[in-house]
Amino acid sequence: MPVYSIRGINVDFPFEAYPSQITYMDRVIESLQNKCHALLESPTGTGKTLCLLCATLAWRKSLGSFSTRKDRSNGDFPLTDSDSQMSQSGGGFPTIVYASRTHSQLRQVIKELKRCSYRPKMLVLGSREQLCVNEEVNSLRGKALSNACQYLCKKRGKLQCNHFNRVPEYLKHNSHIGDEPVDIEDLVNIGKGSGPCPYYITREVHKDVDILFTPYNYLISNAYRKHLKVDWNNSVLIFDEAHNLEGLCADSASFDLPSFHLSACITEAQECVKLASARRGSLNDGSTNPENFAILKGLILKLQELISKVPIPKRDEGFTKPGPYIYEMLKSLNITHETAPNLIGILEEATVLLDEEKLRTGTNAGCKLELIVDMLKLIFRENGSSHADVYRVHVQEHEQNSSDMIKGKVSRTLSWWCFNPGITMQDIAKKGVGTIILTSGTLSPMDSLAQELKLDFPIRLENPHVISSNQLWAGVVSTGPSGCVLNSSYRNRDVPEYKQELGNAIVNFSRVVPDGLLVFFPSYYLMDRCIAFWKEGGQRNSMTIWERISKLKKPVIEPKDSSLFPAAMLDFSKKLQDRSISGAVFFAVCRGKVSEGLDFADGAGRAVVITGLPYARVTDPKIKLKREFLDEQSQVSDVKLPRSTILSGSMWYSQEAARAVNQAIGRVIRHRHDYGAIIFCDDRFEQPSQQSKISLWIRPYVKCYPRYGEVISDLARFFRTERSIVPASLVTKQEDDIVSSLLPKVSTKDAPTPTSGNSNVKDAGVARNELSRLEALPAANRASPSECGGSSIKWKGLTILQRKGKMPRIVKGEGMQACSSGKTKLVEISDEETPVKTCEVVDLECDKQTCCETETFAPSSNCFNTIGLVKKRKVPESQGSGSSSVLKEKGSGSGDKKEASASAFLSQVKEKLNAEEYSKFIGCMQALKNKEQNLATVMQSIAQLFCGKERDHLLMGFKGFVPAKFRPAYEQCIKTTKRDAL
């Protein structure tokens, strides 16, 4: 495993690192050593997560041993009792908290941890919904499950939770839990059957870990954060996939209380009155006072009435007041900082009472009174009311439903919106956190993000991608096939000509782009309107645009209902696999689920079409108030930045749209060997101000096309070139034959020299330079036509015989007249530059009977040397006066052995590969023989084809057929492919 010394820290990395990966790890270590915050952007497919883990854990290990018993016992001193105690208490070293948005993303992070050499004490946190194994209650959700769990844990006898009771004994005998990486599924498996409770295992073990994995809400929610038993002093907080962190922080600090939820709360309060009265009467249980719940019901009724009487002059604008106004509203109900704690206690008592009743009756409905609890805790925070200045009170009136109209009620929502997401991050920073690292594939523009979060981020990075320039096509398409301007702005989006032109453009893209095509719209509204137009539009006796798209690619539409999304993804996957059509097209929306974190690697997403800029609805009250708030802040800002860089409302509005675009186009390139196209179908992307907001690694590739025809021709050429990397099968009926092929030999002075020094510290430069030099070699069929003479072409000791109506044959030897097909032989050509004594014919057509006339030529010093696995027939020594004799090849026994070796290898290949993969393998070999691909491209394709634990022997076996001078490059291909496959 390579070891990289970065800022004095030795970092074990599973693979040879790219320069961009070393740069990324350098920034991580710099922020950790200096105890400062960092914004790190690195595109998807650059190994960001692995770099982050390796660099952070290497820095942590440099401070002292991990808390695992194994790690401490492998240190310089034997493990003592005091060491064991220190291991259990964390040893006083900084705790690393790694947060991502979802558990599925954390699952991928833990997979990366398993690939590292580092083994810190670790744990992943989950909610009861993920970890509860008690079949009596794990069907419940939210607070209902929490309350039921707590109720069973307090009980004794038949109702008690046996899983909870087994936790202490399990931990006593399994203190090693977390020494090896474990995921949510591993923890659940521990508790299944009659095992201990996984949830309470995590509650205990997380106190003493080196690295803790958790969803975002455990950090950004004050209620969740208080339950974490983490030593925050000098701790390290990592937020992965942090491109929308500021939005999540603001949402977690805000609330919306619609009138129908208030109605449900009133009903629940009345139910509590009945339950408490029943308990007092039948069970003589005085722990719950029905009068408290009656008072609670009265307060909620008054709050509902108060909201309904708020004057709203215009329904679209609603009623808005500064944040502190919320205290005035609640004071009229006698809810203040002094009375709020008592009211919160009554509400929590009510939720427990309702959940116990639901557990008894077996109902799973949630408790709406919890919303009032969360609202009051948010308003009456521990540190007073100073935070209210960054809030706005808003009451919005909605259209009445039939039930409200009958009852004469008004449907309204009371909102308290936070417009400064920095208050959450500042609360975290005040706990003494040493370093906060935010990382994602799309963080830019970074200035606005830093200002939003109200933290200083002195270390910033916008990393390039690890792909080469020929793997990405990016273009701005300003006009459609008919020359009509493509522009999805508010004024233009409903114009029929625009929708017609966009539809025709997508038809052509569907024809040119192979496999999966992703089309992103700015909004659901525009997507629905365009698709409806394409389905209805069309002339008599002609196909509609929708029918034309469907004929080329099967369509899938992203649903608004998130519960239907898994079915849509499954549908897209099935349609991609349908070989009767050229792929599938997914119509989706920026900021939707398709654009957020899903992996459309390789053929699943060969191109992304952006149909416009996804600006939020300017009349949306929340958007309007956010812009006004930022404009006010920018006027009184004391930020030490130039006035032009201070975040204003319009800047934020524009940058939010740019981030949504960057997130969507991030679906197209997912790993080192992926390739694809980004198509901007809106003329506004021609503006430098818009292009400057595109992710840094994409900007150099963006080209503006004035004419639509140029777009299609360039796009078609791009995909033709990229698809040729793995050509279609060129095999014939005799594909089982094994023969050698000839490749240009590079002179000794250009050959790479073996690396020297510590074998653990890999010199990636030599092999990479050799690979790039091979890629630069022209294909053999690009020889100058000036070398032609008559019916043949001479090139580097090779004669290409022209044959009318047939493919040419390549002849190499001293002299030959007539020849005929003979037994297949595999011939090994020496690396030494010795005259060739053998007459060989490489028959590109593999016909059984061919005759040709050749001329005698002297062997070139640039002889051919590489052994391949493509068809070649050995011309047998002719007998009789009518044929010229051919000198016998020296060491024919060696040739026979090589033939046997190749036959055995091919048998192994056929055994391990399926039919399609085997055809690709033969296709690569045939392309190499025909000089349609250079050696570097073929080695990359073979390395990808043979990648996998069960195929490692194929990778090593093929190495025997690669010339010695090119083996370092082949080894580099193997390492690169294995890294990217992980």
In whole angstroms, give the CA distance from residue 213 to residue 108. 11
- Identify the pLDDT of residue 26: 96
Ranges of beta strands (E only) in 179-318 are 211-215, 236-239, 255-258
Widest distance between CA atoms in the chain = 123
Q: Which range scores top for mean pLDDT: 397-406, 548-557, 853-862?
A: 548-557
- Identify the pLDDT of residue 845: 34
Q: Is the peptide bond before 445 cis (omega within 30 degrees of 0)?
A: yes
- Identify the pLDDT of residue 593: 86
CA quadruple 903, 905, 907, 912: dihedral, nearest 10: -170
Backbone angles phi, psi at 916, to 5 degrees: -65, -40
In whole angstroms, give the CA distance from residue 505 to residue 498. 11
pLDDT band at 805; cut points 50, 70, 90: very low
- Identify the pLDDT of residue 848: 35
**Structure token digits, residue 603:** 């053929």
Tens-digit pLDDT profile for residues 80-137: 333 333 333 345 799 999 999 888 888 889 999 999 999 999 999 988 888 888 877 7
Average pLDDT over every residue of 885-905: 53
- Identify the pLDDT of residue 736: 29
Full DSSP string of 829-878: PPSS-------EEEESS--SS--------PPPSS-B----SB--BPPPPP
Cβ contacts of 118 within 8 Å, gap of 6 or more: 12, 53, 54, 57, 58, 61, 66
Lowest mean pLDDT among 240-249, 588-597, 859-868: 859-868
pLDDT band at 329; cut points 50, 70, 90: very high
Residue 259 confidence (pLDDT) above 60: yes
Residue 708 confidence (pLDDT) above 50: yes
Give the residues across from 744 on adjacent strands.
Answer: 864
Q: Residue holding tokens 């922080």?
A: 249
Helix and strand totals (H; E) in the chain:
36, 25
In whole angstroms, give the CA distance from residue 595 to residue 613. 14
- 738 against 160, higher pLDDT: 160
User: Reduced to 3 states, what is the DSSP secondary structure of residue 215?
Assistant: strand
| 459-462 vs 38-41, strand pairing mode | parallel
- 679 against 906, higher pLDDT: 679
- Identify the pLDDT of residue 113: 93
Give the residues across from 472 on adjacent strands.
Answer: 676
- Identify the pLDDT of residue 677: 94
Residue 667 confidence (pLDDT) above 90: no
Strands in 435-440's sheet, in edge-to-edge order, are 122-124, 211-215, 96-100, 236-239, 435-440, 38-41, 459-462
- 926 against 839, higher pLDDT: 926
Average pLDDT over every residue of 693-699: 89
Cβ contacts of 844 within 8 Å, gap of 6 or more: 807, 808, 809, 810, 929, 930
- 743 against 973, higher pLDDT: 973
Residue 737 confidence (pLDDT) above 80: no
In whole angstroms, give the CA distance from residue 697 to residue 21. 14
Residue 243 confidence (pLDDT) above 60: yes
In whole angstroms, give the CA distance from residue 218 to residue 227. 9
Tens-digit pLDDT profile for residues 191-214: 887 788 988 888 888 888 999 999
CA angle 514, 520, 524 (to 5 degrees): 140
- Identify the pLDDT of residue 146: 78
Average pLDDT over every residue of 937-949: 80
Strands in 255-258's sheet, in edge-to-edge order, are 255-258, 412-418, 391-397, 319-322
In whole angstroms, give the CA distance from residue 925 to residue 727. 10
What is the pLDDT of the chain when averaged over all its residues? 76
- 604 against 887, higher pLDDT: 604
Cβ contacts of 520 within 8 Å, gap of 6 or more: 588, 589, 590, 594, 595, 608, 609, 610, 611, 614, 664
In whole angstroms, give the CA distance from residue 418 to residue 422. 10
In whole angstroms, give the CA distance from residue 891 to residue 897. 10
Give the distance from CA 514 to its chain's centroid.
Answer: 21
- Identify the pLDDT of residue 402: 55
- Identify the pLDDT of residue 386: 80
Tens-digit pLDDT profile for residues 371-387: 899 899 989 987 677 88
pLDDT band at 10; cut points 50, 70, 90: very high
DSSP state of 793: E
Lowest mean pLDDT among 239-253, 540-554, 875-889: 875-889
Rounded to two decimals, the pTM is 0.70
Tens-digit pLDDT profile for residues 40-71: 999 888 889 999 999 999 999 999 988 875 55
Average pLDDT over every residue of 170-186: 87
Of 907, 932, 908, 910, whose CA–CA distance to 919 is shortest? Answer: 910
CA angle 410, 412, 415 (to 5 degrees): 160
Give the residues across from 587 on adjacent strands.
Answer: 519, 557
Backbone angles phi, psi at 768, to 5 degrees: -65, -40
Average pLDDT over every residue of 446-472: 89
Of 426, 423, 62, 113, whose CA–CA distance to 240 is shortest? Answer: 113
Let me know: does 258 contact 231? Beta carbons within 8 Å. no
Residue 552 confidence (pLDDT) above 80: yes
Tens-digit pLDDT profile for residues 601-633: 788 889 999 999 999 998 899 999 999 999 988
Q: Which range scores top for mean pLDDT: 17-21, 355-359, 802-806?
A: 17-21
How many other CB atoms are found less than 10 A from the CB of residue 888? 9
- Identify the pLDDT of residue 364: 64
In whole angstroms, give the CA distance from residue 905 to residue 742. 19
Residue 714 confidence (pLDDT) above 90: yes
**Structure token digits, residue 916:** 């399609």
In whole angstroms, give the CA distance from residue 515 to residue 396. 46
| 792-795 vs 554-557, strand pairing mode | unpaired
Residue 326 confidence (pLDDT) above 80: yes
- Identify the pLDDT of residue 289: 83
